[in-house]
Chain A
Amino acid sequence: MGKTLYEKIWDRHIVVEQEDQPDIIYIDLHLIHEVTSPQAFDGLRLANRQVRRPDRTLATMDHAIPTTDRSLPFEDKIAAKQVEALRKNCQDFGIELFDLFSTKQGIVHIIAPELGLTQPGQTIVCGDSHTATHGAFGTLAFGIGTSEVEHVLATQTLKQYKSKTMAVNFNGELPIGVTAKDLILALIGQYGHDFATGYVLEYRGEAIRNLTMEERMTVCNMSIEIGARAGLIAPDETTFKYLEGKEYAPKGEEWQEALEDWRELKSDKDAQFDRIVDFNCSVIEPQVTWGTNPGLVASVNAAVPGPEDVPEEKRRMVESALAYMDLAPGTAIKDIEINTVFIGSCTNGRIQDLREAAKVVNGYQVAEEVRALVVPGSQFVKQQAESEGLAKIFTDAGFEWREAGCSMCLGMNPDIAKPGDRVASTSNRNFEGRQGRDSKSHLVSPSMAAAAAIEGRFVDVRQWPIKIGEGV
């Protein structure tokens, strides 16, 4: 019987197979950031252990750091201590760190792909649940807890049970003006935010093949929001083209060898999945979440549902979501007014995202009562956006233009939404208090967020009058 892509990658990484126990699998690349690592390093010190492969470990700072002028001392003394701890840990254990002023600094899931470190067929872990982002390259990538971070530091392996597999077939073409973010939100909306618990997903189908690498990363990024352990997309020419010439990608003969190897990385025709889901893409509209998990989502032309509109077992969830979000059933999505806009995060903080947002913003002004932020996912993205003139479009329109980091995606740094603020956000989680205590988050695509910033409420971006030639 044939194998799925997941099984192929898994088999390539088994170090030890034991009866009635999880396998020991090898980790090709371990990414580290300031928040989930300090206790792991302490654990190593206590047990007098070393980092087994510093050369397969890479650290950056992204979660708790300010995105304003970094030459000033941190306002937040506890965050400063955490960043200091990471510096010391990397130095003590010989790990390369892309520090605050490095041109390679950025959100961990943005920098590894743009440097060409994320490659097909690898295993990548990080103490962060959105590690699934790297799955866009046909890479088995997933989030781990701090105990596991310590385990990987010490042994470069993990003890893992194999997951079940699910094929998600996106059939048909994505309509014009509808993005990868809408695609994944629509899927979560249809099946609920926990339906893939225990599975590794493989996204397939025509719509996926047509996506760019940036868009594929947006899709895989949100795998955890359906409960999945990881999400994969088989590598193809789009993947190889993206990787070729990247800083850490193989070169010359090695590149040819790698290509040959990577071309094997797809599910066999007769591979068996534990579950198969078919999803029709041709009817998807731009999506806006209205509740307190990513599965509570509607199309921009619809209205917020009420408890009566959902099955019995979901009623309480919907009631409490509406209460928190301060929304009445039947409210048209387009009537929801927002006062904050956040464009960024590992879901939508890449250059293509900023280009799409800038296209909408070009020649307009942010609505008067709206505070709008663009936070590039990495220094590299920031640089690129500045040289393409995107930064100027944003600042001319009244957006704040920031340094790279996670920022208001989780509000661990000073970029916090205030109580009562209503945010149109390109990030991935709309949990209660996620972006700031008592703030309300609506997840959308970058172009939808950009249009919301200008109108002060949600609009269907497919009808947006784009001004070409103004601004730049």
Chain B
Amino acid sequence: MEAFKTHQGIVAPLDRANIDTDAIIPKQFLKRIERSGYGEFLFYDWRYTSEEQENPEFLLNQEPYRNASVLLTRENFGCGSSREHAPWAIEDFGFRVIIAPSFADIFYNNCFKNGILPLQLPAEEVEGLFSKTAENPGYKLTINLEQQRIMDSQGYEREFEVDEYRREMLLKGLDEISATIQFETQIADFERTHKIYYSR
């Protein structure tokens, strides 16, 4: 996984609450067995008309948002299924940061495992960023994970919080499985005494 230290990019304001995983990546694309290439299907039903044409009204079909890498959105982003195809599609489109007042649980977890920083900011703060984006076309934000600071070029700057362990994972691009395998002895010891009642 690619390490995440600091990132600067164009902010795409997707002004909608409760965007669910069915909207992020509809199920017809979950049948693929590959891990990459989901970006073109991101927000499929909004991005394309039923004739599979680009829908010019949709934000990500407009300049400069085609090249956005920071997604600004509303509460409960990523609710619904556990499909990791959702963060895969977001990452493959080019997003590295998602800013929202709240995230759904499983989705939040999945982001960190795919090099995406889901940044939870207070609702007022998110509101403020929506206004700034509306006032300044091509508005950019810089997110520095090492210093845990978010800033723009016009003097806006604030600290953000993120769980220390997950921050480390992102900063180092850590592979969690290798880390857990170090504890093989403990796992084997645990299994010796742990009772499981089903018999197969």
Q: Are B76 and A227 in contact (CB under 8 A)?
A: yes
- B31, B79, B87, B113 interface centre (most CB from chain A within 10 Å): B31
Q: Are A129 and B81 in contact (CB under 8 A)?
A: yes
Interface size class on chain A is 35 or more
Q: Across the interface, which residues of B come within 8 angstroms of A329, CB to CB?
A: none
Interface string of B154-181 (1 = CB under 8 A from A): 0000000000110000000000110011
Bound complex: CA A433 to CA B20 (Å): 11
Pick from B23, B30, B104, B180: contact of A159, CB under 8 Å: B180
Q: Is there a chain B Cβ closer than 8 Å to A133's Cβ? A: no
Q: Is there a chain B Cβ closer than 8 Å to A271's Cβ? A: no
- Given A119-B198, A437-B50, answer yes or no on A197-B104 (Cβ-Cβ < 8 Å): yes
Q: Which residue of A lies closest to B180 (CB)?
A: A155
Q: Is there a chain B Cβ closer than 8 Å to A67's Cβ? A: no
Q: Across the interface, which residues of B come within 8 angstroms of A28, CB to CB?
A: 196
Q: Is there a chain B Cβ closer than 8 Å to A39's Cβ? A: yes
Q: Give the segment of B63-71, B91-99, B138-146, B187-195 that binds chain A.
A: B187-195
Bound complex: CA A237 to CA B22 (Å): 39
Q: Across the interface, which residues of A come within 8 angstroms of B34, CB to CB?
A: 39
Q: Which residue of B lies closest to A163 (CB)?
A: B105
Q: Give the segment of A78-86, A274-282, A361-369, A394-402 that binds chain B.
A: A78-86
Q: Across the interface, which residues of B come within 8 angstroms of A15, CB to CB?
A: 183, 186-187, 190
Interface size class on chain B is 35 or more
Q: Across the interface, which residues of A come within 8 angstroms of B18, CB to CB?
A: 193-194, 293, 317
Q: Are A49 and B84 in contact (CB under 8 A)?
A: no
Q: Are A143 and B22 in contact (CB under 8 A)?
A: no
Bound complex: CA A43 to CA B195 (Å): 30
Q: Chain A's nearest CB lies how many Å from the CB of B175?
A: 8
Q: Are A157 and B84 in contact (CB under 8 A)?
A: no
- Given A42-B35, A193-B18, answer yes or no on A35-B200 (Cβ-Cβ < 8 Å): no
Interface string of A387-431 (1 = CB under 8 A from B): 000000000000000000000001110000001000000000101
Q: Which residue of B lies closest to A194 (CB)?
A: B76
Bound complex: CA A249 to CA B34 (Å): 37
Q: Is there a chain A Cβ closer than 8 Å to B153's Cβ? A: no
Interface string of B120-139 (1 = CB under 8 A from A): 00000000000000000000
Q: Across the interface, which residues of B come within 8 angstroms of A429, CB to CB?
A: 22, 80
Please classify the interface of chain A as helix (H, G, I), strand (E, B), loop, or mixed, using the class held by over half of its residues. Answer: loop
Q: Which residue of A lies closest to B179 (CB)?
A: A159
Bound complex: CA A268 to CA B5 (Å): 45
The residues in A between 21 and 35 inclusive whose CB is less than 8 angstroms from any CB of B are: 21-22, 24, 26, 28-29, 35
Q: Across the interface, which residues of A come within 8 angstroms of B82, CB to CB?
A: 36, 127-129, 143-145
Q: Is there a chain B Cβ closer than 8 Å to A443's Cβ? A: no
Q: Across the interface, which residues of B come within 8 angstroms of A13, CB to CB?
A: 194
Q: Is there a chain B Cβ closer than 8 Å to A64's Cβ? A: yes
Q: Is there a chain B Cβ closer than 8 Å to A460's Cβ? A: no
- Given A35-B30, A194-B79, answer yes or no on A155-B187 (Cβ-Cβ < 8 Å): yes
List 7 additional contacts besides A24-B183, A194-B79, A432-B22; criterion CB under 8 Å.
A22-B165, A36-B83, A63-B30, A78-B31, A119-B198, A129-B106, A437-B45
Q: Across the interface, which residues of B come within 8 angstroms of A122, CB to CB?
A: 196
Q: Are A38 and B23 in contact (CB under 8 A)?
A: no
Q: Is there a chain A Cβ closer than 8 Å to B17's Cβ? A: yes
Q: Which residue of B lies closest to A228 (CB)?
A: B105
Q: Are B80 and A129 in contact (CB under 8 A)?
A: yes
Q: Is there a chain B Cβ closer than 8 Å to A250's Cβ? A: yes
A-B contact pairs, 6 of them (CB 8 A): A42-B33, A129-B106, A147-B84, A193-B18, A229-B105, A258-B197
Q: Is there a chain B Cβ closer than 8 Å to A270's Cβ? A: no
Q: Are B199 and A24 in contact (CB under 8 A)?
A: no
